[in-house]
Chains A and B, each alone.
Chain A
Amino acid sequence: MKRQNVGQIRILEAFLAVLIIFSAFAVSANLTITRSNMESDDLASVGLQALMQLDSDGGLSKLIDEEDWVGLRETLSLTLPAGTSFNMTVYDEQMQQVNPTLISNGALIGQKTAFVEYVCVSRKPLFRCYVIHLQLAVAK
């Protein structure tokens, strides 16, 4: 009877060993998932840096001053990484929406989303400030 049970115990032990190793993998995978949740902050950072890059030579405020919404959409599409979809809204100092049409490169489809708020100051002699709300999404 004892001899017969040895084989079953071996199988049980092997299962236990496999279970232990796979539990380690499961823990590691969970850690990776937690890490990727934080990537929405990275996306916001990418969005903010794109706006800063456009604004570094006053180009962003120039496009807004000239109400060139198509140009703004195209420029932002080129600046943001491929596969990033965005919705942009421009407000004046009284938080009244400036852009009459939606500045977007498509529907915000993606698992990672981020929101960026940016203050854009016009370089024109007549002082003007704009508050830009940029929503970003990227498919994983």
Chain B
Amino acid sequence: MKAQKSKLAANSSGQLLIVTALVIAILISSTAAYIYELGMETNNTPTQSISNFVLALKASTRNAVISSLVNVSNGGEKTTLAANLNELSQLFASIRNIGFCNLNFTVPNDAQYDSGTRISWNTNTGVSSAYVNFALSVYGIAENVTVNYAINITTATTIGGYFIKTEGDGKLVNLTCKVYNEGKPALAKNMSVFYENLGSWIPANASNNLSMVDYGDGTYAISFTADVPSETVHVLVKVYDMRDIFVQAEAFCNEF
């Protein structure tokens, strides 16, 4: 009986070998298939491609808004923003890399914004801003994507200060100027200071012992001397931020 059993086991060992090999093969194949599927999930390329494409188009619209604000803040027409965006929209429509692109936009016209731009250069605060609402649609082969977003580009400056009397009409004026991009401290590319004397703006320069200290966090300490007979010193600071957006603000300085 025992001999018969061992004979049977010996006869079927080959089949067992095949079955074991089959099991191992299934394990290898299923592991490979699982890893492949996992890779497919994490690298869902059509979605990634179209999302990257949309991001690239959004970056272009942002640069278009910046370019328009640079133009308007330097004296350009307020309609420049809409004109530039129309031009960009036409260019987007001609792109066929991933699919058909359609860019729609609306520029606000309200108490603050005129044709999407706001130039508000006042006492102590100056703001140059552009605001646009976009609807970007990309009709791809695999899928369609529509993104609604708003772009707000704002350069602002705040100015405050005082003066200390020196000799005669001489005054040592100390100002603190802060620059902001989209509400966050930002560096200025260029800054010029003027003071009012007998109804005309005089640029403060080396002859006025002009000194500017950049604190590196968007704060600038400015000091200069001026011979001004009036009891207050009316100053004007013109700022170009790193994007070349222009903003200016005035301040009335009193004696410290």
Residues of A within 8 A of B (CB): 9-10, 13-14, 16-18, 20-21, 23-25, 27-28, 31-32, 34-35, 38, 41-42, 44-45, 48-49, 51-52, 55-56, 58, 61, 93, 115-129, 131
Q: Which of B22, B45, B53, B63 contacts A48 (CB 8 A)?
A: B53
* Residues of the B chain whose Cβ atoms lie less than 8 Å from the Cβ of A16: 18, 21
Shortest Cβ distance from B31 into A: residue: A28
Residues of B within 8 A of A (CB): 14-15, 17-18, 20-22, 24-26, 28-29, 31-33, 36, 39-40, 43, 45, 48-49, 52-53, 55-57, 59-61, 63-64, 66-68, 70-71, 74, 76, 80, 83-84, 87-88, 91-92, 95, 97, 243-244
What is the interface of chain A mostly: helix, strand, loop, or mixed?
Answer: helix
What is the interface of chain B mostly: helix, strand, loop, or mixed?
Answer: helix
Whether the pair A119, B91 counts as a contact (CB closer than 8 A) is yes
A-B contact pairs, 26 of them (CB 8 A): A10-B14, A14-B14, A17-B21, A18-B21, A20-B18, A20-B25, A21-B28, A28-B28, A35-B39, A38-B43, A41-B49, A42-B45, A48-B52, A52-B56, A55-B59, A58-B243, A61-B63, A116-B97, A120-B63, A121-B63, A123-B243, A124-B244, A127-B68, A129-B64, A129-B87, A131-B91
Interchain nearest-CB distance for A70 vs B (Å): 23
A36 to B215, CA, bound (A): 51
